[in-house]
Amino acid sequence: MASEKVETIVAGNYVEMEREGEAKDSNSNKLSRYLWHGGSVYDAWFSCASNQVAQVLLTLPYSFSQLGMLSGILFQLFYGLMGSWTAYLISVLYVEYRTRKEREKVDFRNHVIQWFEVLDGLLGKHWRNAGLFFNCTFLLFGSVIQLIACASNIYYINDNLDKRTWTYIFGACCATTVFIPSFHNYRIWSFLGLLMTTYTAWYLTTAALLHGQVEGVTHSGPSKLVLYFTGATNILYTFGGHAVTVEIMHAMWKPQQFKLVYLFATLYVLTLTLPSAAAMYWAFGDMLLDHSNAFSLLPRSGFRNAAVVVMLIHQFITFGFACTPLYFVWEKAIGMHETKSVCKRALARLPVVIPIWFLAIIFPFFGPINSTVGSLLVSFTVYIIPAMAHMITFAPAAARENAVERPASFIGGWVGHYCMNAFVVVWVLVVGFGFGGWASMLNFVHQVDTFGLFTKCYQCPPKH
């Protein structure tokens, strides 16, 4: 009965807010509102699916060459399910936090709840600080990776400029995301982003199959432990895109409906990542070990150029997804978060883009940087911390008795939850952070030794 009452409280506030918005915008352009202002379950699904797979789609064939075909497929399925589980845990903790605060008459109309605030409200300042550090650092480097990917991709259409110069250009372009207020306003962008990723995935699959296997192709993976765990952590990174789950939920009109959204988004994403990575590895085999961007091995054509262009647009969208929570944190730090002027908030957000731009120029290692971020940051941000936070939050009997979201019986109730959470923590700590961190750091240092920091054109073929 308590659960039903809580759901009414949460949904009621959102419906009330939405009706107020409709009243204010009754004379505005309905088409603009339809394209711009989203908060449904479908909007959340598009946001999750679009955000989950972006430039990493182009590096998964590289991971398959490190892992081998069988391990590549199994790790995608395994980490896809594990990511869906921890996204579910984050959604449970968000609803629990929000409900407790709304019982205390806290009003969130002009405030976007974030993951570190959920940890603060449920577990205290030490958890808040840990969540803030890992979440912000991961999103910072997630934005860096999108910028690196933009420069890497455009080079395959126009190589008159080196990749570093393209990074300067796309850094300026991506800075325009400061004008997008919140995840409410990503409705059309999320939809377009997913269409673009879908086109690119099936282009890679079809192009690889039509190309056929290169002469003398070999499939020796896995050949080295370092490469094996580097590839595995890139897949860990792939399905760790739910660092923005809380912000996406907060943009929903009824956030308690989020529970299975990420799982269904993951299932769709697997229909893109598995065929494209498998087909590319089948066609090119070990050649992918030296080509972290799948575009580099496919012949230039109109279809490839179209795939490059749509991926560039999608990376711009994903940059916004990763950067928007950082904008919120910065706004709260300088006291601008509740300012209603879009232009004032945009101006206040600009300093966030500068370090991202700078880091993309220092570390332009498209591919290896994914694994490094995956092992050192994603492992804690979206796997270990949510699982441990869920266990500690509901450790007291009173917390379990009054929980807003009770565990499903088919999972084994609270015992099943705790067993799964413990498995996630141990596995990711040992395999993801331990072995993955060791392997990805060795590979990353090798890239620095080979190409150097601030390299002008990472993995560019010599010009004749």
Give the model confidence (pLDDT) of 112-150 as tens digits. Answer: 899 999 999 999 999 999 999 999 999 999 899 888 888
Judge whether 297 and 59 are in contact, CB under 8 Å.
Answer: no
Residue 155 is predicted with a pLDDT of 83
Q: State the pLDDT at residue 202.
A: 96
The answer to whether 115 and 243 have CB atoms below 8 angstroms apart is yes
- Which 8-state DSSP code applies to residue 462? P
CA dihedral sign of residues 238, 240, 244, 246 = positive
The predicted pLDDT at position 181 comes to 83
pLDDT at 31: 66
pLDDT for the residue numbered 4:
42
Hey, what amino acid is at 396? P
- Per-residue pLDDT of the chain in tens (464 residues, 90 and over written 9): 344 444 444 433 444 334 344 444 454 566 666 666 778 899 999 999 988 887 789 899 999 999 999 999 999 999 999 999 999 999 999 999 999 998 888 888 788 899 999 999 999 999 999 999 999 999 999 899 888 888 888 888 887 888 888 888 888 888 899 998 887 788 888 899 999 999 999 999 999 999 999 998 999 878 889 889 989 998 998 898 888 889 899 888 888 889 889 999 999 999 999 999 999 999 999 999 988 889 989 998 999 999 999 988 998 888 988 899 999 999 999 988 888 888 999 999 999 999 998 888 888 876 678 788 888 899 999 999 999 999 999 999 999 999 998 888 888 899 999 999 999 999 999 999 999 999 888 888 887 777 767 676 766 666 65
Q: Which of 390, 407, 415, 419 is nearest to 122 (CA)?
A: 390
Helices of type H across 239-292: 245-250, 261-284
The Cα–Cα gap between 276 and 77 comes to 15
- Tokens 């990353």 belong to residue: 444
Residue 405 DSSP code? S
* Spatial separation of the C-alpha atoms in residues 124 and 385, rounded to whole Å: 14
Predicted local confidence at residue 444, as pLDDT: 81
Residue 32 pLDDT: 64
State the Cα–Cα distance between residues 426 and 208, nearest whole angstrom. 38
